[in-house]
Amino acid sequence: MRRILHAIPLLLAVILLNYGLIAATPGDPVTALVGDFPAPAAYRAQVRHDYGLDKPVPIQALRYLVRVLHGDLGYSFANRQPVVSLIAGRLLATLELVGTALAFASIAGVLLGAVSAQFGGGIFDRATRGALTVGYALPEFWVGQMLILCFAIWLGWLPSQGAHAIRGAAGGWAGIADGLRHLLLPAIALSLRYLALIARVTRTSILDVLGANFVLAARARGAGSIRVLFGHALRNAAAPVLNTIGFNLGFILAGSALVETVFGWPGIGRLLFDSIESRDYPTMLGILLLVSVCVVGANLLTDIVHRLVDPRVA
C-alpha cells in the first residue's frame, strides 16, 4: 500500500514531464499537441483553447494533468484517431511480443544462470558466461537483422515480417502455429540481451546463495544439488533477479520498438517509429506516458512479487 502511494507522485511527475516536453517544444506548443504538419488553422485554435495554451503555465499544466488523468491522451491528427484508441489497437501485439520475450528471457535466463552456477568454474560455466557476455553486447535490432538473414533469407525456414501469415490468420491450431512461427524470430531478437542479463544476475546471486550456511545445513540434511538449487537457492536468489526483470521492463519495451521495426510487428513500437517518421507528437507522447506507466507498474509488481517470495520484506 505504501508502495502504491509511493508510485503516485512518480506517475504525476511523468505526466508533468510530458507536459514539459510539450511546453519546451521549439516553436508553438500547439505543434506538440497536433503533430508537425499542416492541420487546419481552426483545428489548431481549438486545441490551443482546449489545452488552455492561452492561459498561464501552471493552469496549462493542470489542465493537461486533468485531461491525462481522464484518459485523454489527445488526438492524433495524423491518424485521425484519438491517441488512446490508436495505442489500444496496437497494445495486444506488443504485449504478445514483449510478454513472450520477457517470459522466455526470464525462464531461460534463470535456468541457464542456475545451471551455470551449479557447474561453477567448469567448462560449461565458462562457455555459458562467455556466450552471455557476448549476448549482452548485441544490439537487438542487429540481432533481428541477422536472424532474418539466416532463418528467413538464407534458410527460408521462418517468415521475416508481421505477426501472422500475410494471407490472413488461419483459425485453430494452424493459426496458433502460424502465430508462433511469426513470433519466434522477433521474440528471440528481443529477449537475447535480457536473457543474458538475467542469466548473469541469476548466476551471481545463486553462487552467493550456494555459499550460504543454510545451503550447507540443507546438504547436511541430505539434500542433493537439485533440491538445493530449486528448494533453496532459486528462491533466495530471486530478489536480485526479480529486480533485474522489473527494472529492465522499460528497456525491453524500448527494445521492442526497434525489434518491431525490423520485423514489421504491428505493435506500439512500430507505432512509435511511424509517429516519429510522421512527427505525430501526440502519439509519441502518449506512448512515452504508457511506457513510463508500465515501468512504474512493473516496479510496483516487482515489489509485490518480491514480498511474496521473501518473507523478510515487510
Partner 1 sequence: MTPPVLALRNLSVAIQGGPRIVEDVSLDVAAGEMVGLVGESGSGKSMTAYAALGLFPAPRVRIEAGAILLEGRDLAMLSQKEWRALRGSRIGMVFQDPAGFLDPVLPAGRQIAEALIVHGDRRGLAARVRALLAQVDLPESVALRYPHELSGGQKQRVLIAAALAMRPVLLIADEPTTALDVSVQAGILKLLDGLRQELGLAVLLISHDLAIVAQTCTRVFVMYAGQIVESGPTEAVFAAPRHPYTQGLLASLLDPQVRSELYAIPGTVPAAGMSPPGCRFHPRCPRARADPCALRPPVLTMRADGRMDRCWLADAD
Partner 2 sequence: MKRQGWMAAAWLIALVLAAVFAPAVANFDPYSGSADSLLPPFTQGHWFGTDDLGRDIWAETVFGARVSLIVGVSAALLGAIVGVAMGALAGWHRGAVDATLMRLTEFFQILPRFVLAMIVIALFGPGIGKVILVITVLAWPQTARMVRASVATLRRAPFVEAARIGGMPGSRVLMQEVVPNVLAPVIVLAAMDVAAAILLEAGLGFFGLGDPNLVSWGAMLNEAQQYLRSAWWMAVFPGATIALTVLAFNRLADVLNAGLDPRGRS
Partner 3 sequence: MITSLTRRAFTGASVGLAFAAGRPGLAIAAPSIAVLAIDADPPTLNPALSTDYATGDVGAKIFEGLIWLDRTYNPQPSLATQWQYAPDGTGWHFTLRDGVTWHDGKPFSADDVVFTFNEVLARFHPRTSGVLRAIGARVEAPDARTVQFTLAKGYAPFLVQMSVFDAPILPRHIYANTDILANPANQMPVGTGPFRFTNWTRGAAIHVQRNPAWWGDAAGLDEIVFQIVPQPANRSAGLETGEIDAVVDFYLPKPDEPRLMQEPNLQFRRGINIPAVYFLAFNTKRPAFARKASRQAVACAIDRDRLVRQVMRGLARPGYGAFGDGFKWLLDDADSYKRKYPLDPAQARQLLAQAGYDGKSVSLVYDAARPQLRATAQIVQDNLRAIGMPVELAPLERAVEMDRVFAKHDFDLTLQSYFSAGDPAIGYHRMYLTQIGDKALTNCTGFSDPDVDRQLAEAAIAPDRDHRAEIYRRLQVVLNEQLPSLVLFDEETVDFASRKLTGLWPAIDARDQWGGVRFAAN
Q: Residues in the site for partner 2, rule: CB under 8 A?
A: 9-10, 13-14, 17, 21, 24-26, 32, 133-134, 136-139, 141-142, 145-146, 148-149, 153, 247, 250-251, 253-255, 257-258, 261-262, 272-273, 276-277, 279, 281, 284-285, 287-288, 291-292, 295-296, 299
Q: What is the CA radius of gyration of the chain?
A: 23
Identity of residue 309? V
β-bridge mates for residue 75, sequence order: 82
C-alpha cell at 26: 521549439
Q: Is 231 in the site for partner 1 (CB under 8 A)?
A: yes
Report the nearest approach of partner 2 to the CB of residue 66 (Å).
21
Identity of residue 10? L
- Mapped to the 3 state alphabet, what secondary structure does 133-177 carry? HHHHHCCHHHHHHHHHHHHHHHCCCCCCCCCCCCCCCCCHHHHHH
| Among residues 52, 120, 179, 264, the one that binds partner 3 under rule CB under 8 A | 264
For partner 3, the closer of residues 157 and 230 by Cβ is 157
Using CB distances below 5 to 8 A depending on partner kind, what does residue 89 bind out of partner 1, partner 3, partner 2, none?
Answer: partner 3
How many of the other CB atoms lie within 10 Å of CB of 183? 20
At 28, phi and psi to the nearest 5?
-85, 125
Using CB distances below 5 to 8 A depending on partner kind, what does residue 103 bind out of partner 2, partner 1, partner 3, none?
Answer: none
C-alpha cell at 194: 535480457
Whether residue 278 contacts residue 78, with contact meaning beta carbons closer than 8 Å, is answered with yes
Q: Is 36 in the site for partner 3 (CB under 8 A)?
A: yes
The residues that touch partner 1, with contacts defined as CB under 8 A, are: 212-214, 216-224, 227, 231-232, 235-236, 309-312
